[in-house]
Amino acid sequence: MLELHAITAGYDRRAPVVREVSLTVEPGEAVGLLGPSGCGKSTLARVAALLHRPDSGTLVLDGEPVRGWRHQAPRALRTAIGVVFQQPRLSSDPRLRLADLIAEPLRATGRREEAAGRVAELAAPLGLTPDLLRRRPHEVSDGQLQRACLARALALRPRWLICDEVTAMLDASTTAALVEAIEHYRSTTGAGLLAVGHDHTLLRRWCDRTVHWDALTSSDGHTTAALDVPASRSAR
C-alpha cells in the first residue's frame, strides 16, 4: 500500500502548492491522477517518490510510515519506488551514454556485475538497440530517451512506479510503446502504479482507477480554493 495522508507540501511554507491531500494506491493497482497544469500534482508525485519533504502529513509505504526524504530515506525504501519524469532531457545526466544511464542505479547500489545483463534485458523490449545505447542523451530523440529513462526506473525492479506526465512530450506510437512496456512490467511483477497526467483519455484507458485532483481535497476544501485563486490569496 502506498498511502498519502493529508499531505501539505510546497516550496514556501507560507504558500504550499499541495494542501491536505490524501491518496491511496493498493498493491498492483494502477491509479491515474488527473489535474490541470500547475495544480501541484507533480509536487505530490515527488512527495510520493520520497524526493520532496512535505510540510505536514504522512506517507505510509507498505505499512511503514516514512520518516526521511531524499538521502535521509533508507536506500531500500528509495529504490522500492521507480520514478519516470516528464522531461527526459532534464532527467538524464547529459554526460552518460544511455547504457550507463540505465545501469547507473545498479552501480550506485553496488550491483555492478549485474549491470551489463540487466541493461540488455531491459533495453531489448523497449527497442533500444546497441547502437542507441552507445549514444549520449543529446544524440537521441525525446522518445528514445524517455524509453531509456523508463528502463533506468525499472532497473532495480521497484514495487511501485510513479510516472509524472511521462507521455506529455511524445507522439502516439511512442506513448503506446511506453505504456505497453510499463504494463508488461506490472503484469510480471505486480507493481503498483501512480500515473500523473492531464490526458483523460489516456489515463482512463491505462489505469484501473482515475482520480481527479479536485476529489482529493479534504473536507475543508482547501485544495479546490487553491485551484481557483492564486496561492497567496487563498493563504490569507
Is position 210 an interface residue for other proteins (rule: CB under 8 A)?
no
| Nearer to other proteins among residue 109 and residue 218 (C-beta) | 109
* Three-state DSSP class for residue 101: helix
Is position 14 an interface residue for other proteins (rule: CB under 8 A)?
no
Q: Which stretch binds other proteins (CB under 8 A): 45-53, 114-122, 128-136, 182-190?
A: 45-53
Fill in the DSSP letter of residue 127: T
Binding-site member from 44, 61, 83, 177 for other proteins (CB under 8 A) = 83
In one-letter notation, the amino acid at residue 150 is L
Binding-site member from 58, 87, 218, 234 for other proteins (CB under 8 A) = 87
Is position 138 an interface residue for other proteins (rule: CB under 8 A)?
no
Binding-site member from 32, 39, 40, 46 for other proteins (CB under 8 A) = 46
| Nearer to other proteins among residue 104 and residue 114 (C-beta) | 104
Cell numbers that stand for 78 in this block: 528509495
Q: Which stretch binds other proteins (CB under 8 A): 82-90, 126-134, 176-184, 195-203?
A: 82-90
Binding-site member from 12, 26, 62, 93 for other proteins (CB under 8 A) = 93
CA dist 69 to 17, 55, 104, 106, Å?
Answer: 18, 12, 20, 21
Among 36, 201, 53, smallest CA distance to 44 is for 53
Quote the CA–CA distance of 99 and 157 in Å, as a whole number: 17
Is position 91 an interface residue for other proteins (rule: CB under 8 A)?
yes
Q: Which stretch binds other proteins (CB under 8 A): 26-34, 81-89, 118-126, 213-221?
A: 81-89
Quote the CA–CA distance of 193 and 179 in Å, as a whole number: 11
Strand-by-strand arrangement of the 81-84 sheet: 81-84, 160-164, 192-197, 30-34, 209-212
Binding-site member from 4, 123, 149, 216 for other proteins (CB under 8 A) = 149
| Nearer to other proteins among residue 68 and residue 221 (C-beta) | 68
Residue pointed to by grid coordinates 545483463: 117
Q: Measured in whole angstroms, how far is the alpha carbon of residue 25 from the centre of its chain?
A: 13
* Count of residues near other proteins by CB under 8 A: 28
- Beta-bridged to residue 64, according to DSSP, are 61
Neighbours of 176 (CB within 10 A): 13
**Beta-strand (E) ranges in 10-113?**
18-25, 30-34, 56-61, 64-65, 81-84
| Nearer to other proteins among residue 84 and residue 226 (C-beta) | 84
Point out which residues bind other proteins (CB under 8 A).
Answer: 46, 49-51, 70-71, 75, 78-79, 81-83, 85, 87, 90-93, 95, 104-105, 108-109, 149, 152-153, 155-156
